[in-house]
Amino acid sequence: MAKDAATTGSHMGKGSRSRTRGGVQTGAQASSAEKSAEGSGNGPATRAAAKAEERHRSKTRLLEAALSVIRAKGYTATRVEDVCEAADLTKGSFFHHFKSKEELAVAAADYWSQTTDALFAAAPYHAPSDPLERVLAYVDFRKEILAGEVPEFTCLVGTMVQEVYETVPAIRDACDRSISGHAAEVEKDIAAAKALYAPDATWTPESLALHTQAVIQGSFILAKARMGAEVAAQSLDHLRAYVEMLFAQPRKGD
């Protein structure tokens, strides 16, 4: 083998200017080929980028599968095999990205936040200029998206935290980040509305924002118990009426 390697190296050195020996490219030809490949999109950098993109796609497929399977079966009942089957990927691919089901769940909670943040950021309830109208439109929007089968409109993080709040702190904390982070966004409009319509009220914008999430998450539990969205929609109607009652006073400055 050493002799063969030395012979090959010798061939590359002797023919480096003009030709190949035994199908082995000369140094100059190899360099030229690499540059040509890179220029045509097939070089090492391009291939590395393609592999990285493929890894990203497979991880995203696992996260999307986790969102679907866990909302349908719950965290405890969900197996790694279930997620892999839903993603159409192997367990080898799963463990390339995640050390355990727990690590997947934490990542899924963060991914859920990113996905839903984008949905709510683009939602039409931001359009009204009046902050109270935006708060009420937010409640209406939450009612509007109660569509499809129960797992399709219920909340991933609400589902997981009910199961593991005591036993898996990492998942509990990820779920809290998601729910509390969303409540903080709702709180901004509530604070603006309170300043206009209820500046002397003793309740805080934070407490009302968290209350909206308590009602929404509770409505999902009822929807699961009743296997339908109707009871959840009724809960949101009551939430809207409650918010209107809190602000049922003259606007500041009128």
Q: Which pLDDT score, from 0 to 100, does residue 2 have?
A: 37
Q: Which pLDDT score, from 0 to 100, does residue 51 have?
A: 64
User: What confidence tier does 46 reach under pLDDT thresholds 50, 70, 90?
Assistant: confident
Residue at a domain's end among 39, 68, 98:
98
Question: Whole-angstrom Cα distance, residue 70 to residue 61?
Answer: 14
193-218: average pLDDT: 97
Q: Which of 137, 129, 156 is nearest to 236 (CA)?
A: 137
Q: Is the domain of 54 the same as that of 157?
A: no
The residues, ordered by sequence, that sit 6+ positions from 4 with a Cβ below 8 Å of its Cβ are: none
Range of the domain at 87: 25-98
Instruction: Tell me, yes or no, whether 161 lies in a domain.
Output: yes
Q: Is the domain of 121 the same as that of 166?
A: yes
Question: Whole-angstrom Cα distance, residue 120 to residue 139?
Answer: 12
Question: Whole-angstrom Cα distance, residue 214 to residue 206?
Answer: 12
Q: Which pLDDT score, from 0 to 100, does residue 63 have?
A: 98
Q: Is the domain of 146 the same as that of 237?
A: yes
Asked which of 22-31, 162-171, 210-219 is least confident by mean pLDDT, the reply is 22-31
Q: Is the domain of 161 the same as that of 85?
A: no
121-145: average pLDDT: 98
User: What confidence tier does 47 reach under pLDDT thresholds 50, 70, 90?
Assistant: low
Q: What is the pTM of this model?
A: 0.78
